Structure 1
Amino acid sequence: EAADNSAGIHFYLDDYQFERFWNKPGLYIDKLSQFDCVLTPDFSLYQDMPLPMMMWNVYRSRLLGQMMQQLGLTVIPTVSWADERSFEFCFDGLPLNSTLSISTIGVKKSDKANQMWQRGVLKMIAKLHPKQLLVYGGQVDFIYPDGIDVVYYENDNIRRLRGL
C-alpha cells in the first residue's frame, strides 16, 4: 500500500515491534529514508529496570539515530527517562537548541508518574534548551517555558481504538 511520505516516522510502540530495526538496521533505513523525518527509537526505560539496561536502551536509540543521520536522514531525537538515576545519562549526546520529541504515554496513570515526567521535562529543558518539542500522546497539565514551540500529536493507538 502507498504510504504518505510527507510525514515523519515515530517509534512510540512496544519495543518488540521495532527490535528488528535494532537487529538489522540496514534492512529498514532505506525505507525510512523515504519519509520527511524519523524520530529515534524510543527503547523503554522503566523505574524498576537495572541501570545498565537503561543505559543500554539509551545507547541503542542514540546509535540508530547516528546511523540514520550519517546516511542523510532527517533525525529528530526522542528523549526519555525513568527516574532521577537516568538523568545522569539520558540527555547525553542530544543536540542543544533543536527539535526534540517526548512522550506523554503513561503519564496520566498516576500522580507519581506525572511528577516524574514533569521533573524529567524540566531537567531536559534546563540541559538541552529545545527550540521545539514534538509531544506524542496528547496534552497533559504542564506549562512549558516561553520560547519553546510545542506541537502535540495524539496517540495513534488510542485513536484507532476509539474508531477515529
Structure 2
Amino acid sequence: MSGLCGRNCNSCIFKEYFCEGCSLCEVCMCDKNCRDCFALCPERPAGIAYLMSVGGPEIESKGNKKIHLPAHIPILPDVFKEKPRGDIMPVIGLHAGSMFSRNGEKINPKYLNNGYVKALNIAEGTEAVLEFYVKDRTLEGFWDNRKNNYKDLKRMNIKAIISPNFSVYEDAPRLVHLYNIKRTTIVYNEMLEAGLNAIPDVSWYSLKDLDKWIREIKRNKVKMIAFSFQVVDVRLKASNIWKNYLTGFRYLCKNIDPEIEILIIGITSSRRVKEIHAVAFGHRIIVLNQSAFVQSRRGMLFEGRNKNTEFTKDDIFHRNIMYFNKLYEDMNLKHNLGGEKNA
C-alpha cells in the first residue's frame, strides 16, 4: 500500500516509527522546495533529526494539582476605561497574544512592570489564568526564549497557566504533529519545574495521540487539563470539524478519571457548551472565552440575545458576566449531580 507521499507503507521505516499513517497533509502536491517549506517530513533533510532533538515522539506529562476555578473565566483582551466589578469576576483569562510581544520572546513591559491588574485596569485581588492560543509566530518566539519567560511569569503571580498549544493542523505532515505535541508537553513539564501552576493542553490529531495523553494522565495523576476547540490562523490550512473535535473530546473524557476538571477554550456558543457537557461523562467543565467582553462592545446583551441601547457597554459587560457565570455553573450542577452521565 502506498501513502499520499508515494512511499510503500508496508516497508517504510518512517511509517513504523514516526508516521502512524497519512494525515491530510499536502505532501502529494509537494514541489520539493524544502528551503521554503515550513513542514517537517521524511523528504526534508534532517526532518527526523528535528523530532529526535526534542526526545522523539513519545510524550511524558507530569502530575499537577487541582486549582479551584469558577465555571466561567472571561478572557479580557483589552484594558478597561472604567474598572469593572471584581465580585462577579474573581478570575479572568489572560490572552498571551496581548501579554507577550508579537514575536513571543518576552512579556510586554506594561504587564511585566505593572502586573496584569494595572495593565487591564481591573479590581485588586483578581486572579488570572493565562492561555496561549495564539498565532504560530508568537509560539515560536516563546519556545526559543522560554527559560527566561518562565522566570518572568513567576514574577507575575498568575494563578494557573495553560501550556502553549503548538499547532497540529490536519494538512501538515505527521512529523509536524508529533513534534508540536511533544513541545507542548515539554513546556508544560518545564513550567511545573519552574514552580508555575501549569495545566497541560491536550493537543492531538488521532486517537493514538489521545491514547498517549490518557496513559500519561492516568499514570501521573494529572488533576486538571485543557482542551481546545479552536484553530488560530487558519488561512490556507484546514481545520477539524466540530464533530471530529467532539468525538475526540468524548473519547478522552470516557477514559480518564471523572474527577479531573477540564478547561475548554474556543467555544462561544452556549448550545455547543451544552453538547460538550452531554459527552463529558460528568467531568466539571470550565469555560474560557471572550464572549462577555466582545458582545458588550457590540452592545449585545446575551440574556434575551438583544442589542441594547439602554445600558452602557460596561453595564452590558457586567450583565453578560453574571449571565454566563450562572449558565455554566448550572450546567456543571446538572451534569455532575445526577444529571446525564453519558451511557
* Aligned position for 2:245: 117
> Residues 47-85 of structure 1, C-alpha deviation per residue, up to 9 Å, x if partnerless?
222111111101101111111101111111111222445
**Do residues 129 (structure 1) and 257 (structure 2) align?**
yes
Alignment counterpart, residue 150 of structure 1, candidates 285, 310, 325: 285
**Do residues 10 (structure 1) and 138 (structure 2) align?**
no
Q: Say which SS state the counterpart of residue 18 (structure 1) adopts.
A: helix
Letter in 1 for 2:202: V
TM-score by length of 1: 0.80
Q: Say which SS state the counterpart of residue 135 (structure 1) adopts.
A: strand
| Structure 2 residues without counterparts, runs of 5 or longer | 1-109, 118-125, 232-239, 299-316, 318-343
TM-score by length of 2: 0.41
Stretch deviating more after TM superposition (134-143 or 84-93): 84-93
Q: What's the CA shift for 1:8? A: 1.3
Inter-CA distance 155–54: structure 2 relative to 1 (3 Å threshold): farther
Q: Say which SS state the counterpart of residue 7 (structure 1) adopts.
A: strand
Q: Say which SS state the counterpart of residue 17 (structure 1) adopts.
A: helix
Q: Would the aligned equivalents of 2:229 and 2:265 in 1 still touch at CA under 8 Å?
A: yes
* Aligned position for 1:159: 294
2:208 and 2:281 map into 1 onto residues whose CA distance is 28
* Residue pairs, 1:60-99, within 5 angstroms: 60-84=183-207, 86-89=209-212, 91=214, 93-94=216-217, 95-96=220-221, 98-99=223-224
Q: What's the CA shift for 1:144? A: 3.6
2:175 and 2:212 map into 1 onto residues whose CA distance is 11
* Aligned position for 1:22: 143
Aligned residues: 158
CA RMSD of aligned residues (A): 2.7
Inter-CA distance 63–10: structure 2 relative to 1 (3 Å threshold): same
Q: What's the CA shift for 1:91? A: 4.7
Inter-CA distance 134–43: structure 2 relative to 1 (3 Å threshold): same
Inter-CA distance 31–92: structure 2 relative to 1 (3 Å threshold): farther
Q: Say which SS state the counterpart of residue 82 (structure 1) adopts.
A: coil
Quote the sequence identity (%).
20
Inter-CA distance 152–17: structure 2 relative to 1 (3 Å threshold): same
Q: Would the aligned equivalents of 1:136 and 1:155 in 2 still touch at CA under 8 Å?
A: no
> Residues 81-117 of structure 1, C-alpha deviation per residue, up to 9 Å, x if partnerless?
22445445455544546211112225xxxxx711110
Q: What's the CA shift for 1:147? A: 3.1
Q: Would the aligned equivalents of 1:37 and 1:74 in 2 still touch at CA under 8 Å?
A: yes
1:99 and 1:22 map into 2 onto residues whose CA distance is 23
Alignment counterpart, residue 101 of structure 1, candidates 196, 211, 226: 226
Greater Rg, structure 1 or structure 2?
Answer: 2
